[in-house]
Amino acid sequence: MVRNGGHLELPTDLLVGCDGRGSSVRTHAGLALAPAREAYDVLWFKVSPPPDELEACDFHISVRSGQHPLVAYTSWDGQWQCGVIMPKGGMAEFRTADWLTPALRAAPTAFAEHVLAHRNAVSRPVRLNVTVGHAPSWSAPGVLVLGDAAHPMSPVRAQGINLALRDAVVAANHLGGLAAGRPTPDAVNQACAAIQAEREPEILRAQRLQRREARGQGDARAGTWRFTLAKRGARAVGRYRWAQRAWLSRQRGLRFGTTRVVLDALPDT
């Protein structure tokens, strides 16, 4: 820790790193990151939504053969958060003055017309360099990493924050009792191992679900036979309630998690 140009050392039994996918805590602790095969970027930008979307919590996914998928949702500030998902190297076509038009190629006509009509209010685009993977070990003596620092998540279905909060709840359950006394290093290390053991199955399951969703978007971009078949099938049976329920059931694990996480009552300190 640096203060007034000098270094200040603060003794602690455990340092918890929640500093994201590029975690310096993970790096300095010597914790390896096993990267996944996914390799793509996201071009983020914001724009004011139509009036009828201001109170909505809809999540839009637009796919079109031969185009980069586009996602959009109403963010915390009332703006549409939009993202163009593309393979690595796909940013070249957006390095022009009119980057917005190609960014909307997968969007429905009404969506694209609204954004282009308000192009002066569109925020500056930001590139997200997507890193996906997981650390085989989340801890070293005196160090624990959580959230994207331990398992960088894909932006598919935007579950990084949700899973990080669930990590924090489980960490509180295991570490809360230790905070009341003077824990031994072995007790701290055992608690860290227990946190990873409890959380890792859901994390790996969520990453598998994200990969499945990403493959579907890749099929749509490439216009594969799987996408053509799925599109025809959706048109044929998508209006039926049983088909809608089946699709929602498939999405549930990504939207609501697959493990029940409850904060235990913490002891008085």
Decide: residue 137, CB within 10 A, 0-12 exposed, 13-18 middle, 19+ buried.
middle
The string of pLDDT tens digits covering residues 93-147 is: 898 889 999 999 999 999 999 999 999 999 999 998 888 899 999 999 999 999 9
Query: What is the pTM assigned to this prediction?
Result: 0.76
| 83, 125: one domain | yes
Residue 75 lies in a domain: yes
pLDDT higher than threshold 60 for residue 153? yes
Mean pLDDT of 238-258: 76
Mean pLDDT of 195-218: 87
pLDDT higher than threshold 80 for residue 190? yes
pLDDT number for residue 171: 96
pLDDT number for residue 225: 64
Last residue of a domain, one of 129, 145, 168: 129
The larger pLDDT score, comparing residue 56 to residue 82, is at 82
Decide: residue 230, CB within 10 A, 0-12 exposed, 13-18 middle, 19+ buried.
middle
| 177, 50: one domain | no
Domain tally for the chain? 2
| 102, 183: one domain | no
Last residue of a domain, one of 129, 148, 163: 129
| Domain CATH code at residue 206 | 3.50.50.60
Distance CA 42, CA 20 (A): 17
Residue 139 lies in a domain: yes
pLDDT number for residue 114: 93
pLDDT higher than threshold 60 for residue 268? no
| 159, 26: one domain | yes
Angle between helices 241-256 and 185-222 (to 10 degrees): 140
The angle at the Cα of 242, spanning 210 to 52, to the nearest 5 degrees, equals 70
| 28, 84: one domain | no
| 196, 213: one domain | yes
**Coil, strand, or helix at residue 244?**
helix
Residue 44 lies in a domain: yes
pLDDT number for residue 82: 93
pLDDT number for residue 54: 66
| 92, 149: one domain | no
pLDDT number for residue 224: 67
pLDDT number for residue 221: 62
Query: Which span out of 107-111, 212-216, 252-256, 257-261 was modeled with the highest average pLDDT?
Result: 107-111
| 226, 113: one domain | no
What count of other Cβ atoms lies within 10 Å of the Cβ of residue 144?
28
What count of other Cβ atoms lies within 10 Å of the Cβ of residue 95?
8
Residue 155 lies in a domain: yes
21: containing domain: 12-36+134-256
- Residue 174's pLDDT band (boundaries 50, 70, 90)? very high
| 174, 158: one domain | yes
| 205, 74: one domain | no
| 195, 230: one domain | yes
pLDDT number for residue 109: 93
Among the ranges given (176-190, 201-215, 239-253), the one the predictor scored with the smallest mean pLDDT:
239-253
Residue 4 lies in a domain: no
Mean pLDDT of 75-102: 88
Residue 268 lies in a domain: no
Last residue of a domain, one of 129, 162, 197: 129
pLDDT number for residue 223: 64
| 170, 91: one domain | no
pLDDT number for residue 264: 87
Give the E-state strand segments of the chain in sequence order: 2-3, 6-7, 15-17, 34-35, 40-47, 59-62, 70-74, 80-87, 126-129, 133-134, 139-140, 143-145
Q: At 261, list the tokens.
A: 């996480």
The larger pLDDT score, comparing residue 222 to residue 197, is at 197
Residue 124 lies in a domain: yes
